[in-house]
Structure 1
């Protein structure tokens, strides 16, 4: 077990603990986040999960390994029934198939279009069938049920007496795809969602494990109608069901977390808008996957940002969100302060807290790497009437500093968005804004 005082800052976990695809749930007055576990710069996810949790959004704990993909018995079963094509609704190839394959370093430039779906179906671009992709978790009758998916597109559920796991006795579900989601309604009924490009939904039986395949509702949300890419997540508030998912409506890639609503857990769902967009968290930003959750009277959105100028190394982040009277959600920006307060005058701001980068800048470990004409943002910082910046950096160059678009020396007292613009090549360790004495 690792304990980490984040102060509510983003990212919320140590720089070397990457838990993306965060599904947040409250069990016994503690918030738990279930997600994938990135361990390499070259690929998504790994063969294990670890659960992050907090009681106050300021101090976080990361548990020991909660399940190991090598302990799942069925990925190499040659006699298993295949579900991927039917459950994912694959038809003609789209640009997303190509992007996925390129992301997995598959040479497809000379591949005929009609072979791409077959390539995906066969799982040839996932060399490790034991890899565990995005999970979700639910509690019922004293047990915690962890729903997971694997590199061969199979899905399963394992059980524990503890929200941190370990989760054991895995059972394969009669479906296939990625990114399962579980939702328990007010009457105790459980609903299961999964899929990519086109999502499926079904009501689970009372055992939380089985369901009637004939009752599966296909295309509950789709790429065509809702911009749905993957990463289903379901919540309910004031009688409205919120289907949260990565959406492709911006820049033709799934960097924004959007939502659709319904008055039934099985739809129909109507697209409502974007909650947050991580397109500028890193030059290689490709996907976002997260959830919304009420904790101690405040609603939050949980999401991830990639780092190291790569599509992986995705780090857990959180922002406060607000609902309008009609149930819609206002879009929020990525911040450095996260669930905490703005950075105080004189407080050390580490380079890796940069919430937005542009022009080639990126976060690497605990450093902010900046090249000539690149920029980085820190939201939000409390400035005194007159402030100067102190920077701990390596390399050669200068930094121009703006507070809400105004040069720092002209800024006023208050809370500001800080923008750094680099002239040169610098590795920034940390910054601090110090009040100027008259």
Structure 2
């Protein structure tokens, strides 16, 4: 019996929808694990929900996640936005954003998995992020389109008023959300999602950036907040210097042939942070599925972190010259996540792991406006797949990366519901790459198997190309495997 791939990207089961994930490595009962605290997209018609849950994994295996259940319920049944959790002494503090982030409560537990109890109201605001410094002093960062920070008192709830600062990162341009205070920066605008870390003795503030300028290198030609970015400072409440972008959730970025690029996945709001897990740094973030932003899923990628001789911090995919870091850019959005050698091609791989949905009848990511998308699922059982629906002709669906080992498989089998007559090409390495298999399906077909016409070994990206003379929706794609 074939196994389903688990713990890829998204790394939680398909039925679980935890965005805004703050990763924290805690030791409890003698075991170090990485715990993820986030919002909980359960309402289906709007962001988040009235409870929050905890998932964790051992530090030596980020593909093996355990569900710990609900750790906190809002005190009045209101919707909870993004939280954070820190440890001070033997106590864990959950900063819960009740009433859609307008009321920040702090609750406590002796267990990092909760439950967190005895909540009290804090002085903090939207999207709180907390840093417990090496000397035991505690700093808080918060804000939506305007950034605030301050030192906390020993009660972990109130701020030292004289320490509060505003705009250590400049904010979004004046408009629906931002104040007209002369602190705008359309090229590097703080949007939300404050998340502080300390690295190499520097204070690093990770945040959701909103670009108001086009960035064709990422395929961005509109206002966009699909990025997680960072700045850094020598002091916790100091002036933060330009850092860079760590993550972008617009999928694989492909060249257009004219010096510009295109994203291949529908970007959406982004929120998360970094964690050093067993000596390797990772960025935890989320992607969008469905037709809105109300079923987001937790994603993870390894990142590189370095500091040059002048004290400049680099995070993401780093370029080095003569051993010195000189530039960084966002790490690739992948299907593999913590399966760093690639997904086992001989296991069952859900279409829900796709990070490239491009082309289609109208062209562009997700096949154009109102095009193909990953359909959310909510049934809680183990071998659950997540289909791509509303596929039209000339759409490609890509997975980065699969591991084929030292011996090439002989066939590929795909569960595809054919809504029209169609042909499916399987391509390797690039969405226009070499065709290694092809099969024709008649309308009404559910599954197809085809021989490989060319061997493939090692680690490769794989793409399914859907072709049909029909202008209608032609297929739904559920899962595939190689044999």
| Same-fold status (TM-score > 0.5) | yes
What does residue 232 of structure 1 align with? 194
Determine whether 1:279 maps to 2:250: yes
Q: CA deviation at 1:292?
A: 0.3
Q: CA deviation at 1:235?
A: 1.1
Task: Output the CA distance in 1 between the equivalents of 2:266 and 2:434.
Answer: 29
Q: Is the 8 A contact 2:5 2:343 kept in 1?
A: no
What does residue 18 of structure 1 align with? 17
Question: Which of 404, 407, 410 is the equivalent residue of 2:434?
Answer: 407
What does residue 228 of structure 2 align with? 257
Q: Is the 8 A contact 2:251 2:333 kept in 1?
A: no
- CA-to-partner distance for each residue in 1:251-278, whole Å, 9 max, x for gaps? 3121011111112221311222111111
Counterpart mapping for 1:19-34 below 5 A:
19-28=18-27, 29-34=32-37
What does residue 94 of structure 1 align with? none
Shifted more, 20-29 versus 351-360: the winner is 351-360
What does residue 53 of structure 1 align with? 56
Q: Is the 8 A contact 2:191 2:209 kept in 1?
A: yes
TM-score w.r.t. structure 1 length?
0.80
Q: CA deviation at 1:138?
A: 0.5
What does residue 383 of structure 2 align with? none
CA spacing shift, 1:38–1:234, aligned 2, 3 Å: same
Q: CA deviation at 1:411?
A: 7.2
Q: Is the 8 A contact 2:152 2:158 kept in 1?
A: yes
Q: Is the 8 A contact 1:37 1:46 kept in 2?
A: yes
Determine whether 1:328 maps to 2:299: no
Q: CA deviation at 1:162?
A: 1.3
Counterpart mapping for 1:286-365 below 5 A:
286-326=268-308, 327-329=313-315, 330=317, 331-340=330-339, 341-358=341-358, 359=367, 360-364=371-375, 365=377
What does residue 83 of structure 2 align with? 135
CA RMSD between the two structures: 2.2
What does residue 207 of structure 1 align with? 155
What does residue 99 of structure 1 align with? none
What does residue 65 of structure 1 align with? 70
Structure 2 runs not aligned, ≥5 long: 172-183, 212-219, 253-263, 318-329, 359-366, 378-385, 437-453, 469-473
Question: Which of 208, 214, 229 is the equivalent residue of 1:246?
Answer: 208
What does residue 323 of structure 2 align with? none
Q: Is the 8 A contact 1:380 1:418 kept in 2?
A: yes
Task: Output the CA distance in 2 between the equivalents of 1:179 and 1:6.
Answer: 33
What does residue 92 of structure 1 align with? none
TM-score w.r.t. structure 2 length?
0.73
Q: Secondary structure at the match of 2:271?
A: coil
Q: Secondary structure at the match of 2:399?
A: strand
Determine whether 1:168 maps to 2:154: no
Task: Output the CA distance in 1 between the equivalents of 2:198 and 2:5.
Answer: 29
Q: Is the 8 A contact 1:6 1:13 kept in 2?
A: no
What stretches of structure 1 move > 6 A for 4+ residues in a row? none
- CA-to-partner distance for each residue in 1:140-167, whole Å, 9 max, x for gaps? 1211111121226121211112111111
Q: Secondary structure at the match of 1:198?
A: coil
Task: Output the CA distance in 1 between the equivalents of 2:275 and 2:124.
Answer: 27
What does residue 467 of structure 2 align with? 423
What does residue 106 of structure 1 align with? none
Q: CA deviation at 1:199?
A: 1.0
Counterpart mapping for 1:69-80 below 5 A:
69=74, 71-72=75-76
Which one has the bigger strand percentage? Answer: 2
CA spacing shift, 1:234–1:387, aligned 2, 3 Å: farther
Task: Output the CA distance in 2 between the equivalents of 1:323 and 1:433.
Answer: 36
Task: Output the CA distance in 2 between the equivalents of 1:279 and 1:41.
Answer: 22
CA spacing shift, 1:285–1:311, aligned 2, 3 Å: farther
Q: Is the 8 A contact 2:141 2:148 kept in 1?
A: yes
Q: CA deviation at 1:210?
A: 1.8
Counterpart mapping for 1:372-411 below 5 A:
372-383=393-404, 388-395=411-418, 396=420, 397-405=422-430, 406-409=433-436
What does residue 132 of structure 2 align with? 184
Q: Secondary structure at the match of 1:197?
A: coil
- CA-to-partner distance for each residue in 1:381-424, whole Å, 9 max, x for gaps? 12455765321111232222222222232675332222222225
Q: CA deviation at 1:325?
A: 4.6
Q: Secondary structure at the match of 2:167?
A: strand
